[in-house]
Amino acid sequence: MTPTPTHATASAATSSPTDVASASASTAASASSSASASEENWLRLDRQICFSLHAASRAFNGVYRVILKELGLTYPQYLVMLVLWEQGELPVKKLGEHLRLDSGTLSPLLKRLEAGGLVRRERSVRDERSVEVRLTEEGVALRERALQVPRRIVEVTGFDPDEIRDLRERLDQLTTTLNAAALEETPGCQ
């Protein structure tokens, strides 16, 4: 009995130009498949830094929701209060810059804080186009109760303060890098 030729031998002996091209493409595909196999893993959800940041942000929001309920604040309202406790009276535009929020998002937050008696919005006497935001006495007093929030956040993260500082610095660096990259990709911003 004569041995049966292997597929490669048989195809080489009787192949057409189309078969040779297919074989070459198949060989190239299998050679690149090992390289693309590792690249394929890049598309896994658990490999996406953006998803890890998104999941951590959602988890933080859940923790803040519980902690801030005692203060009667939502997380975005808490951020507004942090800036006002730190900076004092500010124009809405400057407040938005600090928080990276546009006026369409910020205005409803300020309206709710004002209805809660924590802030007051008034037209600037220097520039009527500008609205100034300032803390009320209640808003100033809330700061004392809010002092426990950062301590509780440190506790729930399981990180020590140095680890939190290092992580925050890395995230700030990442934000700066991504902002610069976004500007480079935006036409007219170079």
Residue pLDDT tens, the chain, 190 long: 444 444 444 444 444 555 545 555 555 555 555 556 677 788 899 999 999 999 999 999 999 999 999 999 999 999 999 999 999 999 999 999 999 999 899 999 999 999 999 999 998 778 878 899 999 999 999 999 999 999 999 999 999 999 999 999 999 999 999 999 988 876 665 5
CA dist 103 → 92, 95, 127, 129 (Å): 8, 9, 17, 13
For residue 36, what are the CA distances in angstroms to 23, 45, 47? 19, 17, 15
The separation between the first and the last C-alpha atoms of the chain, rounded to the nearest angstrom, is 74
CATH code given to domain 47-158:
1.10.10.10
pLDDT at residue 164, as a whole number: 94
Q: 119 with 134: CB under 8 angstroms? A: yes
Decide: 84 and 102 in contact? Cβ < 8 Å: no
Q: Give the per-residue pLDDT at 187.
A: 67
Q: How far is CA 54 from CA 58, 60, 76, in A?
A: 6, 10, 16
Give the model's pLDDT for residue 99: 97
Give the whole-angstrom CA distance, residue 27 versus residue 10.
Answer: 16
pLDDT, residue 128, reads 76
Residue 17: what residue type?
Answer: P
- Around Cβ 122, how many Cβ atoms within 10 Å? 11
Per-residue 3-state assignment (H helix, E strand, C coil) for the chain: CCCCCCHHHHHHHHCCHHHHHHHHHHHHHHHHHHHHHHHHHCCCHHHCHHHHHHHHHHHHHHHHHHHHHCCCCCHHHHHHHHHHHHHCCEEHHHHHHHHCCCHHHHHHHHHHHHHCCCEEEEECCCCCCCEEEEECHHHHHHHHHHCHHHHHHHHHHCCCHHHHHHHHHHHHHHHHHHHHHHHHHCCCCC
Q: What is the pLDDT of residue 19?
A: 54
